[in-house]
Chains A and B, each alone.
Chain A
């Protein structure tokens, strides 16, 4: 519940940013450069005099959107492949598993780095890189569940009734893989946020001056010796969001699959 509450606040403030905040996230104010936290600027201002609170809230919009789109992309490609691999087994399974093995040989963040180095920086390319890097996670998960679902009697009877494979997969297999997919997607949102923020921190994320939490930390690094607040608040936002997704994912897992409950 705590995770859900934190996320609700973040989503609401990101959605209503234009209404609740008096500043523009991109407008420089050279008369207010690197001001510490005050009533006018609760999180202080950055090297261009922009309000950090405003940029953190708007940054939430970008970071959460990247996370959601990336995870949706990973699931949209990974789930059908996972179901096909588990349902058909044999040659399709072997081929898909080989591809998964190769993708997993590049640990998550490295795969996203390789992809961004090929695609170039930018909002869409960050989504593509982070999303593609999460495909093998879905394939493995869904394939495992499908392998057990395909042996169930309701699948056997659907086959005996002569239903085409794709209908069996969509009507009988997919709904039974939904619970683990929902849990995984929630946890994956946290991972996607961390990966995207990592790319932003390295200067390989969205293009400036778009506010994005990781990129804000990258900029803050230069001013770390003199300003503590520039690095503190965007990082706290990433930390809180990722922790909220992890808490929510753990809670959903306990609720949807009590056997997986951690002792």
Chain B
């Protein structure tokens, strides 16, 4: 089995390489597809001619495209993503200073969505077709349909503006994290709850669960020892896949709550056409998403012994 898994892991990593190549190509061509001089676009409208010439030389813009791409990749690997046209600070610095804020927000939201989603999914799976089940189903449907930014505004309106329980926005201590993390978690929470419920219901119908019941085991033991472990395997993958919706959600949530993270940096960069920053953030998001998907695939292959390493 171990050999099979290693082979599967190697194939999966190799398969990710062309995708990574494609992602870097898209980010590389982003600026070059725009009408106008790429050096001028990357330097910013207000930059001097000397600065534009410096960037043209630095990025090899007079050289063939293949060489330009090589320079782009070499620079990116060194963490050199250019300079912001607005602040003139290195893009890597702009990202570094905001990364912890986004990481804390995303991690809190993931834990919240995972814990509440799994627990509520288990609870309703053992109470199928009861009022609790219907209520949670409606809430989950609301969770996937509600615009995150509107949920954020409504939470802010009630708990910050109305009840003064938490700050309305910004990062002013741990309480500032409450509303943004609930907002960001809502969509994933609903998906994880639905997945846990259907996976549990399917598992509870399996023969080994029937056998456990026939042995006279208590229902709690049947649910938690026999069904849950197997039912959670697909849920783990779903939690990993939620990272994609977290990225989109983070952009909107951070803007709603004036949270000083990377999502907000991206929005302000798009508004001011700060292309070096846009390139840097998009590259970071896409590569992180790719790596997390890869890790989840490998984890899935590892924790589910039934998987075929085809």
Instruction: Indicate the size class of the contact surface on chain A.
Output: 35 or more
Q: Produce 1/0 per residue, A134-177, CB < 8 A to B.
A: 00000000000000000000000000000000000000000000
The verdict on B157 contacting chain A, using a C-beta distance below 8 Å, is: yes
The verdict on A246 contacting chain B, using a C-beta distance below 8 Å, is: yes
Give the tally of cross-chain contacts (CB within 8 A). 137
Which B residues lie within 8 Å of A203 (CB)?
271
The verdict on A5 contacting chain B, using a C-beta distance below 8 Å, is: no
Interface residues of B in 265-296 (CB under 8 A from A): 266-267, 270-271, 273, 278, 282, 285-286, 289-290
The answer to whether B150 touches A242 (Cβ under 8 A) is no
Which B residues lie within 8 Å of A234 (CB)?
150
Q: Produce 1/0 per residue, A232-243, CB < 8 A to B.
A: 101100110011
The answer to whether A243 touches B267 (Cβ under 8 A) is no
Which A residues lie within 8 Å of B290 (CB)?
105
A232–B158 CA distance with the chains assembled, in angstroms = 11
The verdict on A101 contacting chain B, using a C-beta distance below 8 Å, is: yes
The verdict on A198 contacting chain B, using a C-beta distance below 8 Å, is: yes
A142–B148 CA distance with the chains assembled, in angstroms = 29
The answer to whether A246 touches B145 (Cβ under 8 A) is yes
Q: Produce 1/0 per residue, B201-215, CB < 8 A to A.
A: 110000000000000
Q: Number of contacting residues on B, CB 8 A?
A: 52
The verdict on A204 contacting chain B, using a C-beta distance below 8 Å, is: yes
Q: List 21 A-B contacts (CB under 8 A).
A: A102-B26, A105-B289, A105-B290, A107-B247, A108-B244, A109-B251, A114-B26, A114-B278, A117-B273, A117-B278, A198-B147, A198-B149, A201-B149, A201-B255, A204-B267, A214-B147, A224-B168, A231-B154, A232-B154, A239-B147, A262-B194
Interface, chain B (partner A; CB < 8 A): 18-20, 22-23, 25-26, 30, 33-34, 128, 141-142, 144-150, 153-154, 156-157, 161, 168, 194, 197-198, 201-202, 243-245, 247-249, 251-252, 255-256, 266-267, 270-271, 273, 278, 282, 285-286, 289-290
